[in-house]
Structures are given as structure tokens and as C-alpha cells.
């Protein structure tokens, strides 16, 4: 609240991660912000918004706080046990009391209500100094009230359980329970961020830099710059994103994708910082460094998502701002009401302290951020990165999922499977001219065409006046011939006539699920070429997963209807939208939305960027490119379609957990405060209940770490080759 009162400042504070994201206006300095935070009673340390927790080891302050809580809790428990036993013993058997027994109780209580409870007093005093109240205000007043009344009873020589009760056991018990709650809460929050910290920890700390003379030097990763060359050997971590310029290696990509099977990479292949070389040796050239690497971008996505707040959480925050003053007022009213009703001061004090101690705004503040922290960490370990909280909310509403075909349902690795000349041309000339033209294309079909032609015929000639026609094909001049390679529509638009032979060959191949392109030379059809693309082995099960989640599945592709329908039939998709150009895909998404559908789109994150951005929920699979991050709400680093279903399932489970937390937090306080005010609760019980309230929210959120235990989604184990396969294994 204090930060957002500064003109030109927008701030979001996450209670669970203890981080603030602050946007500064041109007239505001960082010193102004830090001074405002200090004036509010807090300590802040600035971090660069462009940096993530790449170098984050254990949080030193968090570890120190945990150790301090542990020591204080140990002392509190050690003294609470004999104090509790003694209080009960002297209460039940008054005849065993001896002179000075109250002093023994005081001696046992003092270390707990002073040193062990000091963190509560320090925070309450800090808040009071800045004219505000916090949860620690309630706790401190409760502990000090119980202690002060007990000391007063001793001084008044009325410290007998038959007349005026001593509350040393209550003061010590409440302190012990609260310390236990905070200790386990702090430990749980530390565990919740372990997944993210583990991912951050994979980043290399140093690199083997190759200078212009070819000499190798071991330097910190922060020294690397774009275009620098580095060497990576077996067992080492790749220091930054780059391209292999010499050598080859088996690389474990699990740090980014969650998939532990090593991938063979050689010259020209892209490498990702944070992944590990299992075997081999290569020289790489840095393409992205520091905060621009994939690992840094993914970690920033997680941190940004953790800072997001649900609309219902904002309501909880508004309630929390008036919660503590309301509880203080309720406690005073409770004491006054009991006294006016004729009850003794002890009875009224008992009820008033119970109201102070049982109230718990902490659960309201922790409800969303702890669940988001655990879920985003668990998702990151699975190769899933949520961009913001809206992605979670959208997952609950979606009822239709649109799947791009090439690269999503299929592997995207095209290969030329047939080539037939028509008219007066020859097969060799079709391959030679068409392959030479396609060398300039970045499309998977073009790359497959050029690779096959070069493999079969040898070096290909050059191409002039190359031009790509998005979604249709390419044109250019090869050895003086005007060449077109592409879909039927490209040839028709170019006034090239397709004969009956060419159409018949194309129809036969398309019925078999092949992607067909035509080759025209100097204005006449010269050949028909067919390409094959394998369906992903997990695609059929992924579609089944989507249906289990209640989603209507639609296949969207630029391929012809026959090819698309063949693929759809193979994987179990009932609806097909074919012949969609890249520019048309977003319009097809809009059409589905106009029908009342809430649409998720799964694509490769590059060609499908407009459709991903248009959909209610965009999921970019198998890609960590800038296009994927900017266009989609969810980035899936694993090249596995089933993980998209797991992302939807996890986001829905996270939403349910957040709602459970908030219902508990609201329900607990609505029920607990009146019960305490009516005198049905002892302050000792109230302290235990308050500690359990926050602990429940954290524990409930921590259950997300076990996702997807007990679910079918993503629970896949490869059966070793040669091992007997039983029906039971197939079911598993």
C-alpha cells in the first residue's frame, strides 16, 4: 500500500516469496522506493529486474531465520513441558503447593515470553513505530496480557488457582505453538521453492573461453559475450545458449525439458545453457548470454507467474488491511461485553485473549502465493512454464483444444517419399530444379526436398530471385528456368495448368496421408512430389488425455483435407480444419470463439504465433523461442504432446488448491472469532488453532509437489527393448 501511494509507482508484493515487483515512473528514483519501504517498517534490497535467480544458492537470510526459529522453538518446548505439567499438577492438587511455587512458574516462563517471543515483539514494535498493526500485534498483546496478569496475581498474593488463574502456561503455550507454526511454515516455503532453486542451480558458474589465438581460459560465465567461442567437454555443463561450430556430443536436456534421454547434437545444432554434455566434445559460439538465455527467460516466467494475484486474492488482501484493527476492536468489545454481563474479569480476559490469539490473517495472505510457488516449481521441473495467473484461470474455462498438425501432432521432420514427373519433364530434372529452389526455404517440406535431391543427385545449382509465398510455396529462377514449388493454389494463381495425370497422382498420395507439392518449370507442370511426416508416438494417448479432461479436440492444418483427415483418424481427433494458411489460423480460432467455445491452441510457437495469441489459452510445445514466449500463455519445453494435457490438469488442480485455501482462510476466521468471543475456547487452544491455520494452507499447497501422483497423465515409462511386455505393463 505504501509503495502504490507514490506517484508513478506500481508495485506487487508476494508474501510467500518475499519479493516485490516495482515499476518506476520517470520522476521516481530507486532511493525513493527504498525509503518508502523503510518508512513502512520493512527492509528491502534491490535486484535487477532483468536478472533471475540464476546464481541463487540457498537464501542466506531465510536459512538464518529458520535456524533462529529452530533454536527459539527448542527452548520454548523444553520449558513449556515442565511448566504445563507443573501448572496442571498444582491446579489439581493444591495441597502440594509450596512457598514460592509461583516463582518457579515465572522462572520457567520468562525465557520463553522474553527471548523466544522476541521476534513477535520486534515486528509489533516496528509496526507501531510506523502507525500500523500486523498479525504480530495481536500475538504480542495476547502473550503480554497473559504474562502481565499472571505477574499481577503474584504481586497481589492472589496467585491461587481457586481465586485468580495464573496464565504463564497460556503465554508460554501460545508462544510455543506460534513458533512451531512459523518454523514449519518457513521450512515448507523453503521446500516449495526448492524446485525452482534446483533449476536455477544447473546454470554453469564458469566457462572455457577460446580467445582469438585459440588459447583456452577458464572464466566466469558473466564474462561471456555474444559471438564468443567456448569449449565444452564430457561431464561439463554448457555455459550459455549457442551453436556448435566444431565437434559433436550427446547432451542431456533434462534441465530444460524434464526428458532425461540424451540427444545427439553436431555442427550447426543449437545448444542451451544449463544442459549437460554426457559424452563428446565441441566448440560452441555464444548466441545469447546472461538474462537473455532460455534458462533465464524460463526462470523469469516462473517468478512473474508467482507474483500474479487472483481477483479473489485481491479481495483477501483488502480484507487483510482492516483485519487486525477489527480483531483488536472485537477483543475489546468481548472483554467489555463479558464484564457488563456480570462475569468476572478473569472470564472476560480469557475470552478477549482467545479472540486476539485465534484470529489469523496470515492464511489469507498465503492462500494464493504458496500454491502458485509450489505449482510453478513443480511445473518447471516437468518442463512447463506458466506465463501468468490468467493462464491458470483460462485452463478452468476451456472446453475446446485446437492442435496444429505439423510439429505438434506429427514430428515435423518431413522426408521425401515419392517423386513423379508429368508432362515432358524427367524425374531427375524435377528433383534438381525443385531441390535447388527449396535450398533457400526454411519450411520443413523445403528442407526435406533439398536434402533428398542433394543426397540423390549431388551438389545442386544456385537460385536467383528467390521468393517465399507464405502458406503456398516458393518461386525463383534456377539455371535460367522459372521454377515454382508449392500447393495447387500457387500454380493456379500463377496461371499454370495442372493436367489430369498430375491431379490423379496427387489425389492417390493424399488419400494415403501424404503432403503433396507440385513443381512447375517455365509455366508448365513438371512433377508431383510427396512427403511423409510421422505421427508422434504419444499423440493418440495425448488426444485421449484431452478427452478425459472434457475437451473437444480439433485438428488445424494448412494441409489438404484428405491428408489432415488421415492423421486425425490415426490419433482419434473427430474434427478437422484443413487448408488453413498461417494468416488464416487466427481467424479460425476466432470463429470457434464466436460459436461460444473457450479455445486453447497448441502449436510450435513460431508459425502459429498469431493463433496462439488469439486463443483463450495458448500452449507452445517443444519450443523456447522468443516467439513462443511472447505469443503463448504456457511454454512447454518438453517435445512431448502429452505434457500439454498435464499442463492443463496441473493448472486446474492449482486453481482448486487456491480456492480450497481461501475458503479455509475465510471460513476459519468467520467461525473462530465468534466461538472464541463466546468463551468456548481456552487461549491455549486458540494459539494451537491459529498456528494450524497457516500450516494447513501451506501443507495443502505443498501437496501440488506430488502432481501427477495417481493420475494417468504423463505417467509414462519406456519399456526396455527386449523386455517381455505384459498386459499389466501396457496398462501402466
List residues with catalytic annotation: 404
Are residues 589 and 611 in contact, defined by beta-carbon separation less than 8 angstroms?
A: yes
Residues ≥6 apart with Cβ < 8 Å to 214: none
DSSP 27: T
Name the CA dihedral angle for 505, 510, 516, 519, rounded to a multiple of 10 degrees: 20
State the DSSP H helix or E strand holding residue 526, giving kind and residue range, or none if neither.
strand 524-532
Q: List the grid coordinates of 419.
A: 517423386
Half-sphere exposure of 721 (CA within 13 A, CB side): 0
Q: Are 483 and 429 in contact (CB under 8 A)?
A: no
d(CA 712, CA 731): 10
Note whether 289 and 102 are within 8 A (CB). Answer: no
Residue with cell 510450435: 604
E strand or H helix at 383: none
Nearest to 313 by CA among 369, 356, 397, 233: 369
Taking residue 385's Cβ as centre, other Cβ atoms within 10 Å add up to 29
Closest by alpha carbon to 310, among 380, 378, 398, 386? 386
DSSP per position, 613-660: HHSSEEEEES--SHHHHHH-SEEE-SS-THHHHHHHHHHHHHHHHHHH
Query: Residue 268's Cα: distance from chain center in Å?
Result: 31
All three cell numbers of 521: 518449370
What's the burial of 721, exposed, middle or buried (CB within 10 Å: 0-12/13-18/19+)? exposed
Alpha helices in 115-236 (DSSP H): 118-129, 135-155, 168-192, 194-201
Taking 3-state DSSP, the helix, strand and coil percentages for the chain, each rounded to the nearest 5, stand at 55, 20, 30
DSSP string, 553-593: EEEE-SS-HHHHHHHHHHHT--EEE-S--HHHHHHHHHHHH
> Can you tell me the distance from the alpha carbon of 238 to that of 207, in angstroms, rounded to the nearest whole number?
8
Cα–chain-centroid distance for residue 602? 18
- Within 8 A by CB and 6+ apart from 91, the residues are 161
Closest among 221, 105, 227 to 154, alpha carbons compared: 105
Cα(51)–Cα(47) distance, rounded to whole angstroms? 7
Angle between helix 642-677 and 539-548 (nearest 10): 30
Which residue bears the cell 486446474? 652
Q: Which of 536, 578, 584 is nearest to 555 (CA)?
A: 578
Reading the block at residue 367, the C-alpha cell is 492462500
Alpha helices (H) in 678-726, listed in sequence order: 683-702
How far are the Cα atoms of 248, 257, 622, 680, 720 from residue 142, in angstroms, in the given order?
67, 50, 55, 17, 63
C-alpha 442 chain-centroid distance? 32
Query: How far apart, in whole angstroms, are the C-alpha atoms of residue 332 and residue 147?
Result: 18
Using DSSP's 3-state secondary structure scheme, residue 19 falls into: strand
- How far apart, in whole angstroms, are the C-alpha atoms of residue 138 and residue 159? 26
Q: Give the three-class secondary structure for 544.
A: helix
Amino acid at each position: 500500500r505504501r509503495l502504490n501511494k507514490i506517484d508513478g509507482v506500481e508495485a506487487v508484493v508476494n508474501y510467500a516469496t518475499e519479493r516485490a515487483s516495482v515499476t518506476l515512473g520517470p520522476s521516481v528514483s530507486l532511493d525513493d522506493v527504498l525509503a518508502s519501504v523503510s518508512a513502512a517498517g520493512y527492509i528491502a534490497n534491490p535486484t535487477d529486474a532483468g536478472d533471475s535467480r540464476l546464481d541463487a544458492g540457498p537464501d542466506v537470510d531465510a536459512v538464518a531465520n529458520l535456524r533462529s526459529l529452530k533454536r527459539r522453538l527448542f527452548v520454548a518446548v523444553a520449558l513449556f513441558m515442565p511448566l504445563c505439567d507443573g501448572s496442571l499438577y498444582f491446579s489439581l492438587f493444591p495441597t502440594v503447593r509450596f512457598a514460592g511455587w509461583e516463582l518457579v512458574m515465572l522462572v520457567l516462563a520468562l525465557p520463553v515470553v522474553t527471548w523466544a517471543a522476541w521476534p513477535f515483539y520486534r515486528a509489533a514494535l516496528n509496526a507501531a513505530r510506523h502507525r500500523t498493526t500486523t498479525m504480530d500485534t495481536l500475538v504480542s498483546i495476547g502473550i503480554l496480557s497473559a504474562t502481565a496478569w499472571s505477574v499481577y496475581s503474584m504481586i497481589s498474593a492472589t496467585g491461587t488457582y481457586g481465586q485468580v488463574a495464573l496464565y504463564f502456561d497460556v503465554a508460554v503455550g501460545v508462544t510455543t505453538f506460534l513458533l512451531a507454526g512459523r518454523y514449519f511454515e518457513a521450512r515448507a516455503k523453503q521446500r516449495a521453492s526448492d524446485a525452482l532453486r534446483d533449476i536455477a542451480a544447473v546454470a554453469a558458474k564458469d566457462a572455457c573461453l577460446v580467445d582469438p589465438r585459440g588459447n583456452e581460459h577458464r572464466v566466469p560465465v558473466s564474462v561471456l559475450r555474444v559471438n564468443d567461442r567456448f569449449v565444452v567437454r564430457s561431464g561439463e555443463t554448457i555455459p550459455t545458449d549457442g551453436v556448435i561450430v566444431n565437434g559433436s556430443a550427446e547432451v542431456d536436456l533434462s534441465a530444460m525439458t524434464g526428458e532425461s534421454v540424451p540427444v545427439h547434437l553436431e555442427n550447426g545444432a543449437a545448444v542451451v545453457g544449463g544442459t549437460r554434455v554426457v559424452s563428446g566434445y565441441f566448440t560452441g559460439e555464444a548466441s545469447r548470454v546472461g538474462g537473455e538465455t532460455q534458462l533465464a527467460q524460463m526462470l523469469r516466467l516462473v517468478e512473474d507467474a508467482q507474483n500474479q494475484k487472483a481477483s479473489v486474492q485481491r479481495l483477501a488482501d483488502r480484507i487483510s488491511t482492516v483485519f487486525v484493527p477489527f480483531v483488536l476492536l472485537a477483543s475489546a468489545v468481548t472483554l467489555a461485553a463479558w464484564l457488563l454481563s456480570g462475569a468476572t474479569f478473569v472470564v472476560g480476559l480469557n475470552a478477549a485473549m482467545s479472540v486476539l490469539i485465534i484470529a489469523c490473517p496470515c492464511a489469507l495472505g498465503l492462500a494464493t502465493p504458496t500454491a502458485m510457488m509450489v505449482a510453478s516449481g513443480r511445473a518447471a521441473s516437468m518442463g512447463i512454464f506458466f506465463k501468468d495467473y490468467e493462464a491458470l484461470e483460462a485452463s478452468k474455462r476451456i472446453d475446446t483444444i485446437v492442435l496444429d498438425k505439423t510439429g505438434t501432432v506429427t514430428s515435423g521432420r518431413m522426408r521425401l517419399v515419392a517423386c513423379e514427373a508429368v508432362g515432358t519433364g524427367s524425374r531427375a530434372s524435377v528433383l534438381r530444379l525443385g531441390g535447388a529452389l527449396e535450398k533457400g526455404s526454411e519450411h520443413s517440406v523445403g528442407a526435406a526436398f533439398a536434402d533428398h535431391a542433394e543426397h540423390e543427385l549431388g551438389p545442386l545449382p544456385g537460385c536467383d530471385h528467390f521468393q517465399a509465398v507464405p502458406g503456398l510455396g516458393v518461386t525463383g529462377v534456377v539455371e535460367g528456368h522459372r521454377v515454382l514449388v508449392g500447393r495447387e493454389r500457387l500454380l493456379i494463381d500463377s496461371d499454370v495448368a495442372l493436367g489430369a495425370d498430375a491431379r490423379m497422382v496427387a489425389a492417390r498420395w493424399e488419400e494415403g496421408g501424404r503432403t503433396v507439392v507440385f513443381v512447375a518449370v517455365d509455366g508448365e507442370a513438371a512433377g508431383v512430389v510427396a512427403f511423409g511426416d510421422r505421427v508422434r508416438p504419444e499423440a493418440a494417448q495425448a488426444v485421449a488425455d484431452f478427452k478425459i479432461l472434457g475437451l473437444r479436440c480439433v485438428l488445424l492444418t494448412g494441409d489438404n483435407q484428405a491428408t489432415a483427415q488421415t492423421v486425425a483418424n490415426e490419433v482419434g481427433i473427430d474434427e478437422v480444419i484443413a487448408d488453413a494458411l498461417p494468416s488464416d489460423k487466427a481467424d479460425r480460432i476466432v470463429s470457434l470463439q464466436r460459436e461460444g467455445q473457450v479455445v486453447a491452441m497448441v502449436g510450435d510457437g513460431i508459425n502459429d504465433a498469431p493463433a496462439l495469441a488469439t486463443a483463450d489459452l495458448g500452449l507452445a510445445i517443444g519450443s523456447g523461442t522468443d516467439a513462443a514466449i511472447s505469443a503463448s500463455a504456457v511454454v512447454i519445453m518438453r517435445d512431448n504432446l502429452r505434457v500439454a494435457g498435464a499442463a492443463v490438469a496441473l493448472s486446474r488442480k492449482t486453481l482448486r488448491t487456491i480456492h480450497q485455501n481461501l475458503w479455509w482462510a475465510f471460513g476459519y476466521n468467520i467461525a473462530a472469532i465468534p466461538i472464541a468471543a463466546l468463551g468456548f475456547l481456552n487461549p491455549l487452544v486458540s494459539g494451537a488453532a491459529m498456528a494450524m491455520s497457516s500450516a494447513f494452507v501451506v501443507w495443502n499447497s505443498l501437496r501440488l509437489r506430488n502432481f501427477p501422483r495417481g493420475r494417468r497423465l504423463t505417467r509414462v515409462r519406456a519399456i526396455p527393448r527386449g523386455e517381455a511386455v505384459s498386459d499389466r505393463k501396457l496398462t501402466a
